[in-house]
C-alpha cells in the first residue's frame, strides 16, 4: 500500500492532461465525452421530425414550421445520456506488491479514468472491494467532482482477501443504471471469476477488465529453493525453481489470462493486462485504443 | 543365501544406513521464504506438476535410496551365494606341531597360512554354521560346537606347540559316544604333514606345506671334564636341511658365557646329517651359556637356532665337618682347592644353630643329627634318623666276614652314568661297621635313590629333594675308600653334585621342575606364570631361554632349548608333492567386494544429492 500523501500530484495532473489530449486525438470525429443514448428523448440536439399527435409535449412543437407549413410538427431530439462508469478497484493484500505497488497503479488508473469520465460529464462511481465492498463513492458527475474522486482514491488502503463475485453480487444486486464496469485488479481470485463477470453481464452492463500485475508476477525471479507464502491467506507452497517450472508458471498465467480474455471477447467486453512497472498512462491508452471507454 | 556378517552387525548396518539417509534429508538446505501476492498460479502449476512429475521424482529418489541402502547392507552383510558357503557342523583340526612354526620364504609361517585358511573358512560359512576347533596336540581344542565368533576367538588361542605328541584327534570320541554329530559334520584338517602325515578317510585336507631351508642345534650340553670337575666343555650337534641348490653350507656357531667369555666355530655339516662338535669352555665361569648358529641363507625355524645351558660349578665351598677332628675327612676335603673347611664338635647341638647362608655343605660322620640340616649333607656312618634311609636290623645289616669287613657292593643297575659314579673303579673298596640300608625300602616313593648295593643291601644312597644329600651306610674312617685311587675324584664329584646349582634341561613347551613350592623367573628376573602339580611346578617354556625356579631354599636352573632333530627337519612331510591349498576359498569374493559395494553406495548417495539439487528427486 502506498502511503503517499500526494498520489495525485501535479505530475499526475499533467499526465492526465496528456491523456485527455490523446483521447481527443484518438476520437476526432466524435464529441468528446458526450455519449448519445440510442433512446430519443429530451436532449438538445435535433435528430428528426414527426407529425404531432395528441399527447405529445407541446414544448417540442416546431412553431416556425407550423407557420410555414400550417402543420404541427414535433421536433425529436437525441436524448443526452449520462454514461455511468463503475470503477471497481481491488484493495486486497495482493495489490500491495510491486514497485510501485499494484494498488497505487490501479488507483492512478482509476483516477485517470475518473478524470476523463468527469470531464465528459459521465457519472463516475468508485468501489473498493476485497472479500466484499469495502467502500463506495456514490456516482458523481461534473468536472468539479474530480478532487472528491481523488480524495476518495487517496484514502484507500489494502488488506484482506479477494472475492469479485461477492462484490458484484452485492453491488449489482441493487438496481443500477446500466453502464460500464471497469475492474482494476490482479484477478488473483480464488473464487469463480467468470461467475462474477456473469453477474455483471446479466445486468446488461458493459465491462472492461484491467489485470494489473507486477513485473515479478509476469516474470518471477525466485531462489532455487523457495517457500512461497500467500499474502492473502497465508498458505505456503514449497517450490524448487527450475526453468521448466518457470515456463509452466508462464503458461499457467497465460492460461489464466486467456480464460478471462476469451470470456470478455465472447461477450464483447474489454480486457487488457497492465504491467505496474510501466507508466500507468500506457495502460490507460491501451484502454482507449480498445474503443470502449469513449464512444 | 547366507551372510558373512553377524545378524547384529547386519542390523547395525541397516540402522546406520537408514540413519544416514534420514540425516541426508535433514541436512538439505531449508527453502528460502518468499512472500508472494498470491499462490493462485503457483498452486495450479505445482498441482499440475505434482500430478505429472512427483511420482517419477519420488520413484527415482526411492530407487536411489534403496540401491544405496542395499549396497551398504551388502557391503556389511557380505552375502554368500548359495552353494558357495560351507554350512552345518564343521570340525576343523589344526596341526599345531612345531614344524608349523616354519617361516615361509614369502613371509609369515605355516601356522599363519593355516590360521588364515581357517579364518576364511569361518568367515565364508553361513551364519548358522557351528564349528568344533581341534588341534593335534589334543588338549587345546574345543569339546563342543560353537558359533563362528567363538571359533574365531578360539583360533587366536591356538599355535604351534612343542613338547607334545601330535596326532590326528579321534573326532567321534571327542564328540562322545552316541553323538550323531560326527557323521554329519564336515571335517577339515589344516596342516603341513610333517608330524601328522595322515588324516582319516573322508577328512578334507588343506595343506600349507612349503619347503623351507633350515639349520638347527639338535644337541647342546655343558659337562665337566671327567678328569677335572671344575672345568667344562660343551658338546653341540648341528644339522642342516637345505632346499634345492645349497649354498656354501657354512654354519657359524657362537657360544657365549657369563663374563663375556665366548667361543666361535665354523661348521660344515652335510645336508641332513647331524654334525657333533666339542668345544672346550676355557675361560668360561659359572653361569649361563648360550649357543647360537647362523647361516647365510633362509632359516625356517628360529627356535632351533639357539640353545641354552648352565655351568653350575661354584668357585668356593664352605664345608662344615661335624663330629670332631677327623684326619681322613679333613685331609680329603682340604685336597679340593674350592673347600673352606670348618669343624664342629659331636653332639646333637652341633647343627642346632646352623645358618644356611653361611655354610654350603655339611659333612657328618658318626651319629646322624635328628633333623635334616638346612643345607646339603654328606653323611657317613651308622645310626638312624628320620630323614635317612631306614636300615636293616640284626645280622643282615652287617654283611661281610667274621671280622665285620664288607666288600663294597657294585653300582646299582641303571646308575652307572650317575654323575658321581661314572667311570669310577671302586671294586677294591672295603668297609667295616656297615649298617646297610634297606634297599627294598628305597623304591619309587622314597626320596632316596640307591647308588651302591644290591636288591637287599644298600651302601650308598642319594636324594635330590628338597636338598641333595648323600648317605654312606658306614663311616668313611672305617673303610679303605680314602685309599682308593679314585677317591679324590669321587669326593670332588660329590662336592660338586651336592653343592652345584641344579640345572635341568628341558625341551620347548610345558616344563616341570621338582619343587614343592616356589616361583619361576625368566632370564630377566620377571616371574613366569606357573602352577603346582603335586610336588612339581609346571610352566610354559615355549621360547628357548633360561628359567630359574626358586623356592624352599633351593634354586634350579631350567635350560629350555628345542634340541630336536625331528623338529629341525621341516621338510619331511608326507604332503611334500602336493601343491598348497589355495588361499581364496569360495565366499571370500563377497568379502573382497565390500569396498566396491561401499564405494558404490557412496556414489549413489552423492548421485542422489546431486539429483536432489538438480530437482530430479524429492
pLDDT at B397 (0 to 100):
53
If you measure CA to CA, which chain A residue comes closest to B48?
A: A248
User: Across the beta sheet with B536-541, what order do the strands follow?
Assistant: B509-514, B536-541, B530-533
Cβ distance of A189 and B40 shorter than 8 Å = yes
Minimal Cβ distance to A225: which of B31, B43, B49:
B31
pLDDT at B616 (0 to 100):
60
Tell which of B36, B49, B56 to mutate to test the A interface (max A CBs under 10 Å).
B36
Query: B39 touching A, CB under 8 A?
Result: yes
A265 min Cα distance to partner chain B (Å): 22
pLDDT at B588 (0 to 100):
46
Cβ distance of A229 and B35 shorter than 8 Å = yes
Between B113 and B89, the higher pLDDT residue: B113
Cβ distance of A253 and B41 shorter than 8 Å = yes
**How many whole angstroms from its chain centre is CA A74?**
39
Most confident segment among A262-271, B237-246, B409-418, B494-503: A262-271
pLDDT at A133 (0 to 100):
92
pLDDT (average), residues B124-144: 77
List pLDDT tens digits, range B201-217.
888 888 888 888 889 99
Minimal Cβ distance to A231: which of B36, B42, B43:
B36
Cβ distance of A237 and B39 shorter than 8 Å = yes
Minimal Cβ distance to A245: which of B33, B36, B45:
B45
What's the mean per-residue pLDDT of chain B?
Answer: 80
ipTM computed for the complex: 0.78
B403: pLDDT strictly greater than 80: no
pLDDT (average), residues B302-325: 84
Cβ distance of B40 and A225 shorter than 8 Å = no
pLDDT at A60 (0 to 100):
84
- Band of the pLDDT at B241, cuts 50, 70, 90? confident
Between A158 and B121, the higher pLDDT residue: A158
Give the DSSP per-residue string, chain A. Answer: ----TTTT-HHHHHHHHHHHHHHHHH-TTS-SS-EEEEEEES-SEEEEEEE--TTS-GGGB-HHHHHHHSS-EEEEEEEEE--EEEEEEE-SGGGG-TTTTHHHHHHHHHHHHHHHHHHTT-EEEEEEESSSEEEEEEEE-SGGGHHHHHHHHHT----S---HHHHHHHHTTS-----EEEEEE----SS-HHHHHHHHHHTT-EEEEEEEE-HHHHS----SEEEEEETTT--EEEEE--HHHHHHHHHHHHHHHHHHHHHHHHTT-EEEEEETTS-HHHHHHHHHHTT-S--
Taking the C-alpha atoms of residue A108 and residue A87, their distance in angstroms, rounded to an integer, is 12
B66: pLDDT strictly greater than 80: yes
CB contacts, 8 Å: A224 with chain B: 613
CB contacts, 8 Å: A235 with chain B: 39
Intervals of chain A under pLDDT 50: 1-4, 27-40, 295
If you measure CA to CA, which chain A residue comes closest to B50?
A: A239
Between B3 and B427, the higher pLDDT residue: B427
* Cβ-based contacts under 8 A for chains A and B: 84
Torsion angles phi and psi, residue A250, rounded to 5 = -60, -40
Burial B324-357 (b: 16+ CB within 10 A, else e): eebebbeebbeebebbeeebbeeeeebbeebeee
Taking the C-alpha atoms of residue A101 and residue A105, their distance in angstroms, rounded to an integer, is 6
Cβ distance of B34 and A94 shorter than 8 Å = no
pLDDT at B129 (0 to 100):
79
pLDDT (average), residues B46-59: 73
Reported pTM: 0.48
B250: pLDDT strictly greater than 80: yes
Cβ distance of B39 and A230 shorter than 8 Å = yes
Residues 6+ positions from B607 with CB-CB distance below 8 Å: B64
Cβ distance of A231 and B32 shorter than 8 Å = no
Q: Cβ(B241)–Cβ(B571) under 8 Å?
A: yes
Cβ distance of A249 and B42 shorter than 8 Å = yes
B16 min Cα distance to partner chain A (Å): 28
Minimal Cβ distance to A188: which of B31, B38, B49:
B38
pLDDT at B395 (0 to 100):
56
List pLDDT tens digits, range B537-577.
888 888 888 998 888 767 788 888 888 888 888 888 888 77
pLDDT (average), residues B118-134: 80
Tell which of A97, A187, A240 to mutate to test the B interface (max B CBs under 10 Å).
A240
Give the DSSP per-residue string, B533-577. Answer: ETTEEEEEE-SSEEEEEEETTEEEEEEE----HHHH-TT--TTTT
Bridge-based pairing of strands B457-463 and B448-453 is antiparallel
List pLDDT tens digits, range B463-504.
887 788 999 988 887 888 888 888 888 888 888 888 877 788
pLDDT at A97 (0 to 100):
92
From residue B543, how far is each of A172, B164, B191, B276 by CA, in Å? Answer: 113, 15, 22, 23
Amino acid at each position: 500500500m502506498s502511503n503517499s500523501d500526494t498520489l495525485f500530484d501535479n505530475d499526475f495532473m499533467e499526465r492526465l492532461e496528456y491523456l485527455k489530449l490523446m483521447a481527443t486525438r484518438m476520437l476526432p470525429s466524435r464529441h468528446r465525452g458526450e455519449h448519445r443514448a440510442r433512446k430519443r428523448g429530451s436532449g438538445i440536439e435535433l435528430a428528426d421530425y414527426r407529425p404531432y399527435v395528441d399527447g405529445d409535449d407541446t414544448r417540442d412543437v416546431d412553431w416556425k414550421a407550423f407557420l410555414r407549413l400550417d402543420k404541427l410538427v414535433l421536433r425529436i431530439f437525441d436524448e443526452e445520456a449520462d454514461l455511468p462508469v463503475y470503477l471497481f478497484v481491488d484493495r486486497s493484500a495482493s495489490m500491495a506488491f510491486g514497485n510501485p505497488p499494484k494498488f497505487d497503479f490501479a488507483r492512478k488508473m482509476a483516477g485517470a479514468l475518473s478524470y476523463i469520465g468527469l470531464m465528459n460529464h459521465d457519472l463516475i462511481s468508485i468501489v473498493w472491494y476485497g472479500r466484499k465492498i469495502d467502500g463506495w463513492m456514490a456516482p458523481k458527475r461534473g468536472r468539479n467532482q474530480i478532487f472528491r474522486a481523488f480524495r476518495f482514491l487517496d484514502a484507500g488502503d489494502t488488506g484482506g482477501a479477494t472475492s469479485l463475485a461477492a462484490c458484484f453480487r452485492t453491488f449489482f444486486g441493487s438496481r443500477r443504471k446500466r453502464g460500464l464496469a471497469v475492474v482494476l485488479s490482479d484477478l488473483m481470485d480464488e473464487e469463480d471469476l467468470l461467475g462474477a463477470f456473469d453477474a455483471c453481464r446479466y445486468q446488461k452492463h458493459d465491462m472492461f477488465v484491467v489485470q494489473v500485475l507486477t513485473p515479478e508476477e509476469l516474470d518471477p525471479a525466485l531462489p532455487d529453493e523457495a517457500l512461497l507464502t500467500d499474502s492473502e491467506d497465508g498458505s505456503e507452497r514449497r517450490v524448487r525453481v527450475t526453468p521448466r517450472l518457470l515456463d509452466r508458471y508462464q503458461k499457467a498465467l497465460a492460461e489464466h489470462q486467456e480464460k478471462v480474455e476469451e470470456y470478455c471477447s465472447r461477450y464483447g467486453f474489454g480486457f487488457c493486462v497492465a504491467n505496474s512497472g510501466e507508466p500507468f498512462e500506457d495502460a490507460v491508452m491501451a484502454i482507449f485504443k480498445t474503443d470502449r471507454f469513449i464512444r | 543365501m547366507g551372510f558373512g556378517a553377524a545378524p547384529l552387525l547386519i542390523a547395525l548396518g541397516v540402522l546406520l544406513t537408514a540413519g544416514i539417509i534420514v540425516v541426508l534429508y535433514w541436512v538439505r538446505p531449508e527453502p528460502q521464504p518468499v512472500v508472494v501476492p498470491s499462490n493462485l498460479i503457483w498452486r495450479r502449476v505445482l498441482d499440475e506438476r505434482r500430478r505429472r512429475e512427483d511420482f517419477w521424482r519420488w520413484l527415482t529418489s526411492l530407487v536411489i535410496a534403496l540401491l544405496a541402502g542395499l549396497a551398504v547392507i551388502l557391503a556389511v552383510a557380505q552375502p554368500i551365494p548359495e552353494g558357495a558357503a560351507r554350512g552345518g557342523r564343521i570340525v576343523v583340526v589344526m596341526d599345531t606341531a612345531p614344524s608349523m612354526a616354519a617361516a615361509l620364504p614369502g613371509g609369515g609361517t605355516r601356522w599363519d597360512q593355516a590360521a588364515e585358511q581357517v579364518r576364511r573358512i569361518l568367515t565364508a560359512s553361513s551364519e548358522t554354521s557351528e564349528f568344533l576347533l581341534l588341534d593335534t596336540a589334543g588338549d587345546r581344542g574345543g569339546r563342543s560346537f560353537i558359533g563362528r565368533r567363538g571359533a574365531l576367538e578360539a583360533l587366536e588361542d591356538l599355535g604351534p606347540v612343542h613338547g607334545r605328541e601330535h596326532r590326528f584327534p579321534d573326532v567321534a570320541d571327542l564328540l562322545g559316544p552316541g553323538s550323531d554329530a560326527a557323521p554329519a559334520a564336515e571335517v577339515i584338517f589344516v596342516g603341513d604333514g610333517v608330524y601328522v602325515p595322515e588324516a582319516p578317510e573322508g577328512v578334507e585336507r588343506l595343506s600349507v606345506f612349503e619347503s623351507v631351508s633350515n639349520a638347527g642345534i639338535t644337541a647342546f650340553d655343558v659337562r665337566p671334564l671327567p678328569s677335572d670337575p671344575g672345568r667344562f666343555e660343551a658338546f653341540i650337534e648341528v644339522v642342516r636341511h637345505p632346499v634345492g641348490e645349497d649354498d656354501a653350507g657354512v654354519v657359524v656357531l657362537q657360544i657365549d658365557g657369563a663374563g663375556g667369555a665366548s667361543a666361535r666355530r665354523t661348521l660344515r655339516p652335510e645336508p641332513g646329517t647331524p654334525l657333533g662338535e666339542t668345544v672346550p669352555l676355557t675361560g668360561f665361569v659359572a653361569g649361563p651359556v648360550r649357543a647360537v648358529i647362523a647361516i647365510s641363507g633362509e632359516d625356517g625355524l628360529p627356535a632351533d637356532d639357539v640353545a641354552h645351558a648352565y655351568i653350575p660349578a661354584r668357585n668356593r665351598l664352605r664345608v662344615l665337618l661335624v663330629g670332631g677332628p677327623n684326619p681322613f675327612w679333613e685331609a680329603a676335603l682340604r685336597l679340593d682347592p674350592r673347600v673352606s673347611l670348618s669343624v664342629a664338635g659331636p653332639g646333637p647341638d652341633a647343627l642346632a644353630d646352623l645358618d644356611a647362608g653361611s655354610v654350603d655343605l655339611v659333612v657328618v660322620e658318626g651319629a646322624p643329627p635328628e633333623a635334616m640340616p638346612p643345607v646339603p649333607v654328606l653323611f657317613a656312618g651308622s645310626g638312624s634318623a628320620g630323614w635317612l634311609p631306614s636300615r636293616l636290623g640284626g645280622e643282615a645289616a652287617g654283611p661281610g666276614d667274621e671280622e665285620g669287613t664288607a666288600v663294597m657292593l657294585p653300582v646299582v643297575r641303571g646308575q652307572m652314568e650317575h654323575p658321581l659314579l661314572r667311570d669310577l673303579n671302586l671294586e677294591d673298596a672295603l668297609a667295616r661297621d656297615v649298617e646297610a640300608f634297606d634297599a627294598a625300602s628305597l623304591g619309587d616313593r622314597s626320596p632316596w635313590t640307591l647308588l651302591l648295593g644290591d636288591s637287599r643291601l644298600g651302601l650308598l644312597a642319594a636324594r635330590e629333594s628338597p636338598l641333595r644329600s648323600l648317605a654312606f651306610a658306614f663311616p668313611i674312617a672305617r673303610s679303605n675308600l680314602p685309599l682308593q685311587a679314585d677317591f679324590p675324584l669321587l669326593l670332588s664329584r660329590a662336592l660338586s653334585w651336592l653343592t652345584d646349582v641344579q640345572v635341568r634341561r628341558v625341551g620347548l613347551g610345558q616344563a616341570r621342575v621338582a619343587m614343592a613350592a616356589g616361583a619361576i623367573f625368566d632370564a630377566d628376573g620377571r616371574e613366569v606364570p606357573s602352577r603346582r602339580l603335586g610336588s612339581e611346578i609346571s610352566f610354559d617354556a615355549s621360547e628357548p631361554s633360561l628359567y630359574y625356579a626358586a623356592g624352599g631354599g633351593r634354586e634350579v636352573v631350567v635350560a629350555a632349548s628345542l634340541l630336536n632333530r625331528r623338529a629341525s627337519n621341516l621338510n619331511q612331510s608326507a604332503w611334500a608333492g602336493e601343491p598348497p591349498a589355495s588361499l581364496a576359498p569360495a565366499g571370500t569374493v563377497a568379502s573382497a567386494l565390500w569396498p566396491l559395494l561401499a564405494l558404490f553406495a557412496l556414489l549413489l548417495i552423492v548421485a542422489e544429492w546431486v539429483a536432489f539439487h538438480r530437482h530430479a528427486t524429492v
